[in-house]
C-alpha cells in the first residue's frame, strides 16, 4: 500500500514514527532493568547451589546470569515497546508528513 497525501495527492511521504522510537527506547531500558532484577534474584538461589563450586563458580554464575537476564529483558522490552509505539503512530499521532505540501496526517483506520 503506497501512502498518498489526502490534500495534494502526492506520493512523496515521510513517516516520522516518534512514538515507536520512544517506545522502543523505554521498553529496552525497562526490560533490561526487569531482566537484571530477576537475574539478581535468581543469583541468590544460584549462590546456594554454586557454593559447592567455590567462590569462582559463584561469581561467574552471578555475573553471567545478570548479563543474560539483562539482554533477554532488553530485547523483549524493546520489541513490546516498539509494537505499542507503532500502534500509537499508526492510529493516534499524525506521523506522516507530505514533503510537497507539508500536511501531517495519520493512516485511515
The mean predicted confidence, pLDDT, of the chain is 79
Residues 6+ apart with CB under 8 A from 109: 91
Give CA–CA dist 35/61, Å, rounded: 15
- Strand-pairing partners, residue 74, are none
> pLDDT confidence of 11, banded at 50, 70, 90?
very high
Q: Where are the domains of the chain?
A: 18-95
> pLDDT confidence of 99, banded at 50, 70, 90?
very high
Residue 79 near residue 68, CB atoms below 8 Å: no
Report the interhelical angle of 18-50 vs 55-91 (nearest 10°): 160
Please state whether the predicted TM-score (pTM) of the whole model is above 0.75: no
Give CA–CA dist 53/43, Å, rounded: 14
pLDDT over threshold 90, residue 69: no
What are the pLDDT digits (tens) for 39-64?
776 666 666 656 666 777 777 777 77
Amino acid at each position: 500500500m503506497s501512502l498518498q497525501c489526502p490534500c495534494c495527492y502526492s506520493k512523496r511521504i515521510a513517516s516520522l514514527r516518534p512514538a515507536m522510537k520512544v517506545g522502543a527506547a523505554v521498553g529496552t531500558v525497562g526490560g533490561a532493568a526487569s531482566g537484571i532484577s530477576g537475574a539478581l534474584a535468581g543469583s541468590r538461589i544460584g549462590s546456594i547451589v554454586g557454593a559447592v563450586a567455590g567462590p569462582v563458580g559463584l561469581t561467574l554464575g552471578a555475573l553471567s546470569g545478570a548479563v543474560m537476564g539483562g539482554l533477554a529483558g532488553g530485547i523483549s522490552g524493546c520489541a513490546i515497546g516498539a509494537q505499542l509505539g507503532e500502534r500509537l503512530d499508526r492510529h493516534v499521532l499524525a506521523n506522516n508528513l507530505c514533503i510537497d505540501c507539508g500536511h501531517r496526517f495519520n493512516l485511515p483506520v
